[in-house]
C-alpha cells in the first residue's frame, strides 16, 4: 500500500534526512587513503546520536554495522572493516537515520585520493543519473519515467544499471511501497502522486549489471569484478516539483 504524506508529514521527515545529509558532509572531510571504513562507520554512529537521531541499520535483519560501506566492486551492503582505504578506491557510504519515528536514507560515492579517469566518469554519470531521475519525480508522471531517465543515460554512457537491488518508498518505515528497479519505459508503471516519498538510488556498474552475493548473505558485488557507483536521495513528490529531503 502506498502511504501518501501530508505537507506537515514531509516537513517532519526533514530532520531525519538532514541528519543523514550532515553525516555525508562530514564524511567528505574524512575520506582519505589510510582511513578505514570502520572508522567512518563509528564516526557516523556517534554523529547520528549527537544530532538527536537514532541509527537503524545495525541489527536490521542481522546487519552488523551502522552504515553500509561498499568499496570498488562492492555494489551495496558492504560491511565496514579495518582495511585501510587506498589511493584510487571509490567507496559508497549508505546511511539511514531515524528521528521522531521518521526515516531518512541517502548513499553517496566518494573518491579516495586520485582515481582513474574511468572511475571518475562512472561517478559523474551515476550522479547525473540520480538527478535525471529526480527531475521526473513529479505528479502525473509514472515510475517508468524516473527509471527510463536513469537507464537511458547510464547505457548511453557505456555503463549498466543494477536490476537486482531495489529503490523504495520511505516514511515511518525504511522500506515502504513501491519497490522498483531503475530500468523502465517512459509512460509505464505506477502513476506518481503528490505526497509520495521515494528513495531514488541508481547503482551503476562499469561492466555487466549482474551481481553476486557473498557468503555473508549481504555483500553484493559486480559479477565481473569491475567498479560500481551509487548516489541516493530521499525525495518527496510535491505540487511544486521534487523536493530532495537529503540534499547536502
pLDDT tens-place string over residues 22-79: 999 999 999 999 999 999 999 999 999 999 999 999 999 999 999 999 999 999 999 9
Identify which of 93, 219, 192 has the alpha carbon closest to the alpha carbon of residue 135: 192
- Structural domains in the chain, CATH included, are 7-244 (3.90.230.10)
88 within 8 A of 191, measured Cβ to Cβ: no
- Please give the pLDDT value at position 108: 98
Q: How confident is the model at residue 202 (pLDDT cuts 50, 70, 90)?
A: very high
CA dihedral 215, 176, 95, 7 (to 10 degrees): 180
Buried b (16+ CB within 10 A) or exposed e, 175-202: ebebebbbbbeeeebeebebbbbbbbbb
Q: 85-122 pLDDT, tens per residue? A: 999 999 999 999 999 999 999 999 999 999 999 999 99
DSSP bridge partners of 142: 191
Q: Which long-range contacts (CB under 8 A, 24 or more apart) does 55-58 make?
A: 55/96, 55/97, 55/98, 56/96, 56/97, 56/98, 56/103, 56/174, 57/94, 57/95, 57/96
- Please give the pLDDT value at position 154: 98
User: Grid coordinates representing 148?
Assistant: 527510463
- Please give the pLDDT value at position 112: 98
CA dihedral 214, 203, 177, 193 (to 10 degrees): 180
Amino acid at each position: 500500500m502506498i502511504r501518501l504524506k501530508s505537507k506537515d508529514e514531509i516537513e517532519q521527515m526533514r530532520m531525519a534526512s538532514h541528519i543523514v545529509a550532515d553525516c555525508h558532509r562530514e564524511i567528505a572531510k574524512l575520506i582519505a587513503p589510510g582511513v578505514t571504513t570502520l572508522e567512518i562507520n563509528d564516526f557516523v554512529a556517534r554523529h547520528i546520536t549527537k544530532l538527536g537521531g537514532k541509527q537503524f541499520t545495525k541489527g536490521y535483519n542481522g546487519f552488523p554495522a551502522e552504515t553500509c560501506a561498499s568499496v570498488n566492486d562492492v555494489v551495496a551492503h558492504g560491511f565496514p572493516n579495518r582495511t585501510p582505504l587506498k589511493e584510487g578506491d571509490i567507496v559508497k557510504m549508505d546511511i539511514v537515520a531515524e528521528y521522531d519515528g521518521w526515516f531518512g536514507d541517502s548513499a553517496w560515492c566518494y573518491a579516495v585520493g586520485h582515481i582513474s579517469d574511468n572511475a571518475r566518469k562512472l561517478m559523474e554519470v551515476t550522479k547525473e543519473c540520480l538527478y535525471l531521475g529526480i527531475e521526473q519525480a513529479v505528479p502525473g508522471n509514472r515510475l517508468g519515467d524516473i527509471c527510463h531517465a536513469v537507464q537511458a543515460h547510464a547505457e548511453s554512457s557505456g555503463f549498466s544499471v543494477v536490476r537486482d537491488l531495489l529503490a523504495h518508498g520511505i516514511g515511518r518505515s525504511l522500506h515502504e511501497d513501491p519497490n522498483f528497479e531503475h530500468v523502465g519505459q517512459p509512460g509505464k508503471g505506477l502513476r506518481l502522486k503528490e505526497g509520495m516519498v521515494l528513495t531514488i538510488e541508481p547503482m551503476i556498474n562499469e561492466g555487466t549489471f549482474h551481481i553476486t552475493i557473498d557468503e555473508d548473505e549481504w555483500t553484493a558485488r559486480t559479477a565481473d569484478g569491475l567498479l560500481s557507483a551509487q548516489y541516493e536521495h530521499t525525495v518527496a513528490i510535491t505540487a511544486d516539483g521534487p523536493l530532495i529531503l537529503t540534499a547536502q
